[in-house]
Amino acid sequence: MSTTGAPATPCASYMTDKLGPLPFCPGCGHHVVAKALDQALVKLQLDPHKVVIVTDIGCIGLSDRYFTTNAFHGLHGRAVTYACGLKLARPELTVIALMGDGGCGIGGTHVLNVARRNIGITLIVANNFNYGMTGGQHSVTTPSAGITSTTPWGNVEGPMDLCGTTIAAGAAWVARCTMFDKDLADVMAQALAQPGFALLDVWELCTAYYAPRNRMKKKELDDLLASDGLRLGVLADTPRPEYSARYRAAYETGRAASKRRPAIEVQHGNSVPRQTGIIIAGSAGQKIRSTAALFAQAGMFSGLEATQKDDYPITVMTGHSLAELIFSRQRIDYTAIEAPDYLLVISEDGLISSHDRLQRLPDTCTVYAEQSLDLPVTKARVVRCPIAQAAAQAGRRSVAVIAVAAMLQDTGLFPLDAFARAISTFQEANIAEANLKALKAGAALVSDRLSAD
């Protein structure tokens, strides 16, 4: 329950008789559940504007319109989801989901998850052991050997204990009643008053189907409880903070200081003549993607437009990692690279993933390759550099920076200063420091010992 005020004048009832009597079959337990809910609301004197009754599909779902509170009638099995949405949006509301045992089957995952999350709604299950609305088929709570239209020889499936299941899922408050319990409305009021999630499982009779087919009346209902060794009353009462409160608190303490990314102003020139495609092929863990992004942003510092696409296996820490970059002085429309102008092959994984491409490359392409790699025959110009050796000194996580720096130094597409600017602008100080050193080492590879085949 929430802290909202009571209605201005005391409410004698939260139901209307304008729509005539409740639509259920004579003797149906749903009458009892609906009236108990009315009595529970009267007892709590909640403002009807601040109460939402969310009903599921099923006979029980016909009841919301008889209440003078807000009413939300949703899809079969999903009442809990709308209830959670309403509660998350407005934690001050008292949100009650009213659902059948059928809804608990098709929407079982929502029941488990709301219990686990402890979102402060109340779930009342009108549990009549079958699907009343669709003609008495068996449900997840149909007792063993129970006769239904879909278990004509007796149910061979075991019933689910809703209370036990939600307790196992972490429900803060759980109770079981039958429609014959004198204190049903009181227990319901207790459920509504819980700040966290509460489940009330009400065992009752479907007088059209389950009860007559299985000769079930009050005594047989009690016997069923006894034979299953199940208890009535409050079965779990372990309050813990409601979801929204925890969410807020966790956010306040855990949120990262807002990382403002500075805008990229043009600071350098470039000599990129036309749309230029560059592929960086390496291994997972070599910072291929983040280095490519820095490279792209360096291009933007140099007055270029840029795009970047990545390719890597679903398991991120192993195998190849590929980044495709396009630079252009104009808007970039087509973002696929059919034949790259430059291909950087940094590791064995990178080589494997670009092996076929290497064989197809035209002579307009330049390949910068780690010198130890055994490249296939290609028409492209190949520049071998001791990238791995430099990385052994400068740091293995900077290997991609080394390769890009060597390539930039060799091509002069735009100044190395622009790459340095991107590194110091977008990386944390200690990482930037290492990468700036790597950048120098990469550039030196070209001026010192570059060898073109």
Partner 1 sequence: MGREFLEGNEAIARGAMKARCDFFAGYPITPASSILHYMLELVPAIGGTAIQAEDEIASIGFCIGAAMAGRKAMTATSGPGISLYSENIGLAQIGETPLVIVNVQRQGPATGSATKGAEGDIQFTRWVTSGGLPVIALSPATVGEAYELTYRAFNLAEQYRSPVFVLTSKEIGVTRESVDLDAIELPPLVERKRVGDDEEYLPHRFDRPADVPAMSDFGGAHIARYTTSTHDQAAYLTAKPAVIQEMIDHYTAKIDAVADDIALVKRDFQESAETLIISYGITSRSAAVAVREARARGARVSSLVLQTLWPVPQRAILAALDGIRRVIVPEMNMGQYRLEIERLAPTGVAVIGVNKMNTTLISPAEIQRTGGLL
Ligand X SMILES: Cc1ncc(C[n+]2csc(CCOP(=O)(O)OP(=O)(O)O)c2C)c(N)n1
C-alpha distances in Å from residue 414, one per residue of 128, 270, 299, 300: 74, 4, 7, 10
Residue reference for tokens 């059919």: 338
- We find the least distance from the C-beta atom of residue 223 to partner 1, in angstroms, to be 36
Name the residue nearer to partner 1 (CB basis): 35 or 65: 65
By the 8 A CB rule, do 331 and 325 touch? no
Subset of residues 326 to 355 that bind partner 1, contact rule: CB under 8 A: 332-336, 338
Q: What is the x/- site pattern for ligand X, positions 102-121, by CB under 6 A?
A: xx------------------
Judged by CB under 6 A, the chain residues 84 through 113 that form the site for ligand SF4 are: none
* C-alpha dihedral, 229 to 234 to 238 to 241, nearest 10°: 130
Residue nearest to ligand SF4 as judged by C-beta position: 132
Residue 141 binds to ligand SF4 (criterion: CB under 6 A): no
Residue 377 near which of ligand SF4, ligand X, partner 1, none (CB within 5-8 Å, type-dependent)? none
Nearest C-alpha neighbor of 302 from the set 431, 435, 411? 411
Of residues 68 through 127, those in contact with Mg ion by CB under 5 A are 100-102
Under the binding rule (CB under 6 A), the answer on residue 270 touching ligand SF4 is no
300 is a contact residue toward partner 1 (CB under 8 A): yes
**Is residue 78 within the footprint of ligand X (CB under 6 A)?**
no
For residue 100, the minimal CB distance to ligand X (Å) is 2
What is the smallest separation between the CB atom of 330 and ligand X, expressed in angstroms?
52
Q: What is the CA radius of gyration of the chain?
A: 34
Is 398 one of the binding residues for Mg ion (CB under 5 A)?
no
Dmax over CA atoms of the chain, in Å, equals: 95
Closest CA to 236 of 185, 162, 307, 304: 162
Contact predicate 125/99, CB 8 Å: yes
Q: How far is the CB of 70 from partner 1 (least distance, A)?
A: 5
Out of 15, 33, 46, 60, the residue judged to bind ligand X by CB under 6 A: 60
Strands (DSSP E) along 16-66, which ranges? 51-55
Length in residues, the chain: 453
Task: Pick one of Mg ion, ligand SF4, partner 1, none as the site partner of residue 397 (Cβ within 5 to 8 A by kind).
Answer: none
What distance in Å separates the CA atoms of residue 115 and residue 377, rounded to the nearest whole number? Answer: 62
Nearer residue to ligand SF4 within complex by CB, 132 or 195: 132
Q: Which is nearer to partner 1, 110 or 384 (CB)?
A: 110
Distance linking the first and last C-alpha atoms of the chain: 78
User: Is 445 in contact with 416 (CB distance < 8 Å)?
Assistant: no
Distance in Å, CB of 69 to partner 1, minimum: 7
Question: What is the spatial distance between Cα 36 and Cα 13, in angstroms, rounded to a whole number?
Answer: 11
The interface mask with partner 1, positions 209-228, x = CB under 8 A, is --------------------
- Contact between 143 and Mg ion per CB under 5 A: no
User: Site map for partner 1, 257-296, x if CB under 8 A?
Assistant: -x--x-xxx---------------------------x--x
Nearer to partner 1, 21 or 229 (CB): 21
DSSP state of 355: H
Q: Which does 203 bind (CB under 5 to 8 A by kind): partner 1, Mg ion, ligand X, none?
A: none
Give which of ligand X, Mg ion, ligand SF4, none residue 103 binds (C-beta under 5 to 8 Å, depending on kind).
Answer: ligand X
Q: Using the rule CB under 8 A, is 17 a contact of partner 1?
A: no
Number of neighbouring beta carbons within 10 Å of residue 71: 16
In 28-187 the beta strands, taken as DSSP E runs, fall at: 51-55, 70-73, 94-100, 122-127, 130-131, 137-138, 173-178
C-alpha pair distances (Å), 65 with each of 47, 72, 103, 258: 17, 9, 19, 47
Which DSSP letter does residue 170 get? T
Binding range to ligand SF4, per CB under 6 A, among 77-85, 145-153, 202-210, 384-392: 202-210
Per-residue mark of binding to partner 1, 82-101 (x: CB under 8 A):
xxxxxxxxx-xx--------
Residue from 44, 114, 208, 235 binding ligand SF4 (CB under 6 A): 208
Of 49, 53, 44, 52, the C-alpha closest to 10 is 44
CB 140 → ligand X: shortest distance, Å?
9
Q: Is 128 in the site for Mg ion (CB under 5 A)?
A: yes
Tell me the DSSP string of 164-218.
HHHHHTT-SEEEEEETT-TTHHHHHHHHHT-SS-EEEEEE---TTTHHHHTT--H
Place of tokens 């192993």: 318
C-alpha separations of 253 from 55, 59, 247, 411 in Å: 36, 45, 10, 48
What whole-number distance in Å separates Cα of residue 15 and Cα of residue 66?
Answer: 5
66: contact with ligand SF4 by CB under 6 A: no
Binding site for ligand X (CB under 6 A): 56-60, 76, 100-103, 126, 128, 131-134, 139, 206
Binding site for ligand SF4 (CB under 6 A): 24-25, 28, 30, 59, 128, 132-133, 206-209
